[in-house]
Structure 1
Amino acid sequence: MIVKMTKDNMDDYNKPNEEFPVTGRIHPRYENGVWTYTEETLVEPYMKRYKDEEIDAAYIEENGKAVFLYYDGADCSGRIRLRANWNGYAMVEEIGVAGSRRQQGIGSRLMDQAVEWAQQHKLAGLMLETQDVNAVACRFYARYGFIIGGADNMLYSNFPTASEQAIFWYYKF
């Protein structure tokens, strides 16, 4: 069941935030006006986890922002955070599914909810950014129908993860 985040379930936001496997790296390439990519498999895969985030009431109160949570009964096992972006797209700021629930269609259902929300807000499509080392997520976005719109090798240059490259994905309606 997917529900919109409210003040009553706001504490569930970080529950699906679990580590994920880093098994490869995406290598985007821009040629003749088209983005493609290849995938490198890492010799030594590793696990990565993003820090829990403070979520504020703006995602409940503001019309151009939303969070949707996926529940299995009382357990929150997925989330997607959206906002209307300046360029007319809905920015998927965060999407995550609990490790034990991955590969069960929850991410696609959350993305379907994001599409519905963006269409209700008369936006042109969805956009998001992820790191090139999150190959599992990149494969998911490509399967869902996103295309690469750009890459940025400086976005993370001031962090210990300086070897990571940002990849921007778009899903146009």
Structure 2
Amino acid sequence: MPENKKIEIRQLTAQDTPALQLPNEPFALHGRMIVTRDAAAWHARFEETDSAATQTFPDEHYQFAEIAKNGFALGAFDQNKPVGLATYQEAFFKYLYLDDLKVNAAYRHQGIARRLIQAAAPAAKQRGYAGIYTVGQDNNIDACRFYLAAGFQIGGLNTRGYGHTQQEGKQDIYFYLDF
């Protein structure tokens, strides 16, 4: 689908609190991204399944004051209707953390998520960051593919974070985007 240029991307203010409540929607679970590393680089391949399973993350109930204290949020609007959200948190090192990125299902594949990332670059640079990083779950292969297509590179893999939970065996992949 072509990029939807009618969508307005802007930094959220206290008046935009309703936009912070954009609900999470289901995404398909149809495989895993397998990450390996050798002496030279990270490598990825995708294992597809025929599964029709979906997952929906719990809604976050963001509060503007909390987000503004440690970062900022960008919203995507179709006229005045919120259709996308990206929340960013200050980080210790030279990469700003993309904590959450979501776009309503009806608006996906229109370039909105990519624009929510691109729009953060000026604020990140102003804060002294050299790029953005985020974490994707290995079973959310559509998100993993998106990050790679958007210019992110694999920079790490956490194979233990879900140990001793109902999601044992799942892995987190760290993605980095340099400006």
User: What's the TM-score bracket when you normalise by the shorter of the two chains?
Assistant: over 0.9
Superposed structure 1 runs of 4+ greater than 3 Å apart: none
1:1-173 superposed matches below 5 A: 1-56=8-63, 57-60=65-68, 62=69, 64-173=70-179
SS at match of 1:87: coil
Task: Tell me the TM-score normalized by structure 2.
Answer: 0.90
Gaps of 5+ in 1: none
Q: Provide the identity percentage.
A: 27
SS at match of 1:54: coil
Following TM superposition, by how much is the alpha carbon of 1:155 offset from its aligned partner in structure 2, in angstroms?
1.1
- Tell me if structure 2 keeps the 8 A contact 1:68–1:79: yes
- How many residue pairs were aligned? 171
SS at match of 2:61: coil
SS at match of 1:12: helix
How many Å separate the matches in 2 of 1:157 and 1:117?
36
More strand by percentage: 1
How many Å separate the matches in 2 of 1:74 and 1:162?
41
